[in-house]
Amino acid sequence: MQTNYINSLTPMRGIAAIWVMFFHMDVIIFYREFGTLIPHETSGILAKGYLWVDFFFLLSGFIISHVYGETLTHHFGKWKIIKTYLWARFCRIYPLHFFTLLLLIPFALVFPVISAAVVDGSWKTFMAWSALPSHLLLLNSMNQHVYLSWNLVSWSIGAEWWTYFAACFIIPFVFNKSWFKNGILAVVAVIILSFMVYWKGNLDITFDYGWVRCVAEFSLGTVLYQMYMNGLWKSWLSKSILFLFAFAFIVLIFHFSWNDLFILPIFCLLLLTTAYNNGAIKIMLETSIFKYLGDISYSIYMMHGVWFMVFWYCLPYLRSNYGIETLTLGMKVIFVTMFMSLTLLSAHFTYHFIEIKSRKILKKRIKSKQRNLETTV
């Protein structure tokens, strides 16, 4: 298993998580009919923010290849190796996912008692008890229910989990050093994603077939990693100007709301330029603030889903109690400041006390069981 992490990629997770958070803040006030953070007819800079989840999926394929690629390839089909790999991934994603559900369950029980007036039609889907088992079993991206529910962003965690299983076959296939096979896999992935955009109209495919979206983009990430390992186009992709170009192009795609498929090659370019860069961009991304945002990015992503529910059901108070029909600029600033502050503060604590501690406890227990088994045998 690789231990030499590509440090500059971690902060990119933080940037992606923050952008997704802004997307969901805009979703709240738009669908609650309080306006928008930025007018959608003027710019799609926030309305297209869901696409950063696609960057997560590409990055996941790249990083899993980097960390586990050689191991899964050389020990293909060996259950002991696969079990260790899957347990490590489970310890990484499930404790925080489970914790956010534990936070929302009492919210679902208490809030209707406190304020029955704001429990509207969305409550039946967002807080659907029938959907809870699919969340607990990480089946929430497999069309089990025709709506998003509970922690709305956790569909992607379910998609990631089952993609980790698929990776046991995808990665050995990609690591066979055959560019022809890798090219075929990339083409198939793009065709699948193109069909999904044609079918849905965009890549915002979540509770229904989000796992397909994840597997396809994860596969592209594994192919990108092979390009990285072979140093393909490194001499010019390592230039900081290419990173800036890719990031600026992403902003343009979002702003003009171009077809979602345009984002895929640019995200690929951004990922490679970040991984290759050893200059100004690397120095910037590895500053303490960017690094820490990357470290707590999973907590930012998951906890902002919890705060989404809180603000979604609290905002109607402004209309029912104070007759406010739209948010002024000052109100929007307060809303964004509160949402971000609560998310980042809670993410700081969940990172240290849920993510890190639970991983240590779970990994310690499995090692203890393995030692006991070896002693018994």
What is the pLDDT, as a whole number, of residue 377? 35
Q: How far apart, in whole angstroms, are the C-alpha atoms of residue 216 and residue 233?
A: 24
The torsion angles phi and psi of 38, rounded to 5 degrees, stand at: -135, 130
pLDDT value of residue 359: 87
Q: Token match 């509160």: residue?
A: 338
Give the pLDDT of residue 4: 65
pTM: 0.92
Radius of gyration of the chain (CA): 21
Separation between Cα atoms, residue 310 and residue 226, nearest integer Å: 43
Where does 234-296 have alpha helices with state H?
234-237, 240-256, 263-276, 280-285, 288-295
Q: Count Cβ atoms within 10 A of the Cβ of residue 11 and give its class: 0-12 exposed, 13-18 middle, 19 or more buried.
A: buried
Angle between helices 9-31 and 288-295 (to 10 degrees): 70
pLDDT at 372: 42
How much is the pLDDT for 324? Answer: 84
Q: What is the pLDDT of residue 2?
A: 52
pLDDT tens digits in sequence order for the chain, 377 residues long = 555 678 889 999 999 999 999 999 999 999 998 999 999 999 999 999 999 999 999 999 999 999 999 999 988 878 888 998 999 999 999 999 999 999 999 999 988 888 777 778 888 889 999 999 999 999 999 988 778 999 999 999 999 999 999 999 999 999 887 888 899 999 999 999 999 999 989 999 999 899 999 999 999 999 999 999 999 899 999 999 999 999 999 999 999 999 999 999 999 999 999 999 999 999 999 999 999 999 999 999 999 999 999 999 988 888 877 788 888 999 999 999 999 999 999 999 999 999 999 988 887 766 554 444 233 33
Give dist(CA 296, CA 11) in Å, integer.
9
Region of 128 (left: φ > 0; alpha: ψ -120 to 50; beta: rest) is beta
Any idea what DSSP says for residue 118? Answer: G
CA distance 324 to 315: 10
The tokens for 65 are: 């290849």
Q: Write down the pLDDT at residue 374.
A: 34
Transcribe 317-359 into DSSP letters: HHHHHH---S--HHHHHHHHHHHHHHHHHHHHHHIIIIIIHHH
Which residues touch 66 (CB under 8 Å, ≥6 apart)?
Answer: 2, 5, 6, 225
The secondary structure of residue 166, as a DSSP letter, is H
Q: How far is CA 189 from CA 58, 139, 185, 223, in A?
A: 11, 22, 6, 11
Predicted confidence at residue 54, as pLDDT, reads 97
